[in-house]
Structure 1
Amino acid sequence: MTGSGPWQLDATGAQAIIALAAARSTDIPIDYEHQTLMAERNGLPAPAAGWIDPRSLEWRADGLYGQVAWTAAASAAIDADSYRYLSPVFPYDAETGAVLDLLHVALTNTPAIDTAITELAAARAGRGASEATPPKENTVDREKLIAKLGLAAEATDEQIDTALAALKASAADAAAFRTALGAKDDAKPAEAVAALKASSATAPADMSQYVPKDVYEETTQQLAALKANSNTAELDALIKEGLEDGRIPGKKTADWLRTQGIAACKAHLDGAPSIAALKTTQTQGKAPEGAETKGDDKLTETELAVCKGMDISPEAYRKANPVPAA
């Protein structure tokens, strides 16, 4: 909440805040220049500078403390002394000024509360409380600043603050990028990228992720052989089933289907009717009356059904399955 204080926080109030924080499942965010509060108005992102573990909060004689995990960019900015203070955001009792909760925190150089308890150096390095350094008096030409930031001449103070915060965040990100690449502090982005390419080009490959070519080829051949054997076994089973239920009229058709492969065999079996008469010999081995004579190229009803099921012409079928000699 906004306000000029004074704000009050004692051991009792701190314990209530600690209990509220511990009941939440998320960490307490730290942003840059309170951008979390301004994001809806200015439409800019609010990247995190760090996170406070709510379960680490504890009350000490001089205030409320918590464990912070800084992002790489924020850590670089703090090391470079680009940011020095923390500014908490909290609701409070308008009459008593008692702090009621801790919502989030911001990295800033202009905190609203006493700088003696917001300096970052001690919190980041884990040392004892250090004496705050009073801010220096600086005068800035407003028009020149607006021009440098690329803003319109009528830019508001809020727009200027937002642009400065974004500029600081970009500088911190660039510093963190250079540090990660091991580049010099004054290295340009192109030089840093070149350093990254050079390091990746000289880095040895992890050979544990590869196998010798001979081993790969042998494995591939074995897999192909297994697949071929599996296909052959499946085709044999289909042909056997078709012979038994009459959908394949005889050995010639079976041999022909074997040369066509599994897909053609399945298509034939799906379209051919199961003919029970082919399972037994109803004429005791004698040719039935009206049966085809030697050399007759006419197809039986069963063979015509096969042609229909396989979508082939009678001529093509007879060519592949000639009438056997007597």
Structure 2
Amino acid sequence: MKTQRLQTKPRVAVCALRVQATDDKTRLMPAGTFHAPRGAAEGTGPWHLSAEHAQAIIRLAAARSTDIAIDYEHQTLYAEKNGQPAPAAGWVDPRSLEFRDDGLYGAIAWTAKARAAITPGPNGEPAEYLYLSPVFPYDANGVPLDLLHLALTNTPAIDEGAAQLAAARMAITHDVTNDAQEIDTVKREQLILTLGLAAEATEEQIDGAIAALKASAADAKALREALGAKDDAKPDEAVAALKASSATAAPDMTQFVPVAVYQETTQQLAALKANSNTAELDALIKEGLDDGRIPGQATADWLRVQGIAACKAHLEGAPSIAALKATQTQGKPPEGTKEKDGELSDTELAVCKAMNLTPEQYRAANPA
């Protein structure tokens, strides 16, 4: 793509000519000074097409690798916005362009449907379409610079958004060779700035940025459709639609259970867990009393208060004291035997050592 720095922004316009279905060439753009019949994308003319200007357009067209499309109602420019197809009504052979006294002519291959639409009825009925509307960029002096595409229409005008799209396509996708005339209306620097790219951006980076914009537009369109928002809805309107849909959407109650059922189930699980822990704690204490790792009932009651984790920790660290199992007094001094007041027996001291307790802590847990 060859571009040249501009002093004015690209402008795109349309005009209208009576369409004629002939086997010869059809006039595509009038010669001399002409205006738009019902307004144009930017301004209403006047535009000026001379033989010299027409030859520049002919050279650009000859360098194209594709034919020049003719659609219906300029749908090619609106397809991305309204999502509707843009079927071709015909195709202009770009190498068939020639300038005549009254304008620029070219050979058109019409589709069968389009040919029927532009042909009057057998009894003089008017045709469905009367005008052929070319889309062309022009400079500050109103000189047409190229022929982008054409449309069958009865209202030959396009809005500003379509004009901007046509200008962007002219700027980045115009199919010309290096030997063709430069498109001096393409303001490349402005395009790069709009896309947020670096000044030295390559053509591949520009194409990638434009593709990303198209993908974002497609995602936004899908989101608006999902929310039921209008095509031209602003972000805050889309958010409002989302809130409204979430507020009115009825939940699938088959995916939920009543609160009372949930609470009852939770309470039952908690009770089962508590009973299981209590039974396990009772079994651990009994085992400790039997093998002497728990010296007496007072220690057993104390461990019961501490819980199952503390009981397990005590049993893992306490030695099994055979004397407590063997004596008939369960580790208590025989009747008639007294220890000194305030002192612990050897057995009790062994328990203190095993449990890492001080005598005072042991006496507090096992009062006489």
Structure-2-length-normalised TM-score: 0.46
Instruction: Report the Cα distance in structure 2 between the residues aligned to 1:196 and 1:223, rounded to whole angstroms.
Output: 39
Deviation at 1:76, TM superposition (A): 7.6
Q: Which amino acid aligns with 2:298?
A: K
CA change 1:146–1:221 in 2 (3 A) is closer
2:264 alignment partner, one of 218, 230, 239: 218
The AA in structure 2 aligned to 1:316 is: Q
Q: Deviations over 1:214-243 (max 9, x none)?
A: 222222222222122111111111111111
Cα 1:249/1:83, change in 2 over 3 Å: farther
Question: For residue 136 of structure 1, what is the aligned residue in structure 2?
Answer: 149
Sort the Cα spacing of 1:155 and 1:217 in 2 relative to 1 into closer, same or farther, 3 A.
closer
Higher strand residue share: 2
Question: Following TM superposition, by how much is the alpha carbon of 1:81 offset from its aligned partner in structure 2, in angstroms?
Answer: 4.4
Q: How does 1:130-169 map to 2 (within 5 A)?
A: 136=149, 139-140=170-171, 141-143=185-187, 145-151=191-197, 155-169=201-215
Structure 1 residues 142 and 209: CA distance shift in structure 2, 3 A: same
Taking the aligned partners of 2:361 and 2:332, their CA distance within structure 1 comes to 28
Aligned-pair CA distance for 1:197: 1.6
Partner of 1:197: 243
For 1:222, the aligned partner's letter is: Q
* Shift, 1:142, TM fit: 1.2
Residue number among 329, 347, 350 corresponding to 1:302 in the alignment: 347
Distance across 2 between alignment mates of 1:300 and 1:264: 25
Written as runs of structure 1 = structure 2, the 5 A alignment for 1:37-56 is: none
Partner residue of 2:297 out of 251, 257, 281:
251
SS in structure 2 at match of 1:322: coil
> 1:271-302, CA deviations, whole angstroms, 9 ceiling, x for partnerless residues?
2211112221389999669x851784322222
Output the aligned Cα RMSD.
3.8
- Work out the CA distance in 1 between the residues paired with 2:306 and 2:331: 31
Pair 317,80 (structure 1): closer, same or farther in 2 beyond 3 Å: same
- SS of alignment partner, residue 149 of structure 2: coil
Question: When you count helix as a share of all residues, which structure comes out higher?
Answer: 1
For 1:246, the aligned partner's letter is G
Answer whether contact 1:77 1:83 (CA < 8 A) is retained: no
1:275 correspondence with 2:288: no
Q: Which whole-Å CA distance do the structure 2 matches of 1:303 and 1:177 have between them?
A: 78
Q: Name structure 1 gaps, 5 residues minimum.
A: 1-74, 85-134
How many angstroms apart in 2 are the aligned matches of 1:265 and 1:152? 71
- One-letter code aligned to 1:237: A
State the SS of the aligned residue for 2:233.
coil
1:76–1:177 CA distance, 2 compared to 1 (3 A): farther
Superposed displacement of residue 198, structure 1: 0.8
Provide the aligned length of Structure 1 versus Structure 2. 199
- 1:195 positional shift: 0.7
Residue deviations 1:46-77, cap 9 Å, x none? xxxxxxxxxxxxxxxxxxxxxxxxxxxxx988
Aligned residue type for 1:164? I
Between the aligned partners of 2:149 and 2:323, the Cα distance in structure 1 is 109
The structure, 1 or 2, with the larger RCO (C-alpha pairs under 8 Å, 6+ apart) is: 2
Percentage of pairs with the same residue: 70
Gaps spanning 5+ residues in structure 2: where? 1-78, 89-147, 151-165, 172-184
Contact 2:317 2:354 in 1 (8 A): yes
Query: Deviation of residue 136 (structure 1)?
Result: 2.1
Question: In the aligned structure 1, how far is the partner of 2:261 from the partner of 2:351?
Answer: 46
Counterpart of 1:37? none
Per the alignment, residue 356 of structure 2 pairs with: 311
* 1:238 has 2:251 as partner: no
Separation of aligned partners in 1, 2:313 and 2:85 = 78
Would you say 1:260 and 2:318 are equivalent positions?
no
Q: Is the 8 A contact 1:149 1:163 kept in 2?
A: yes
Q: Return the letter of the residue paired with 1:136.
A: H
Structure 1 residues 156 and 82, CA gap change in structure 2 (3 angstroms):
farther
Q: 2:131 — aligned with what?
A: none
Q: The residue matched to 1:255 in structure 2 has which SS?
A: helix
- Which residue identity is paired with 2:186? R
Query: 1:322 and 2:335 equivalent?
Result: no
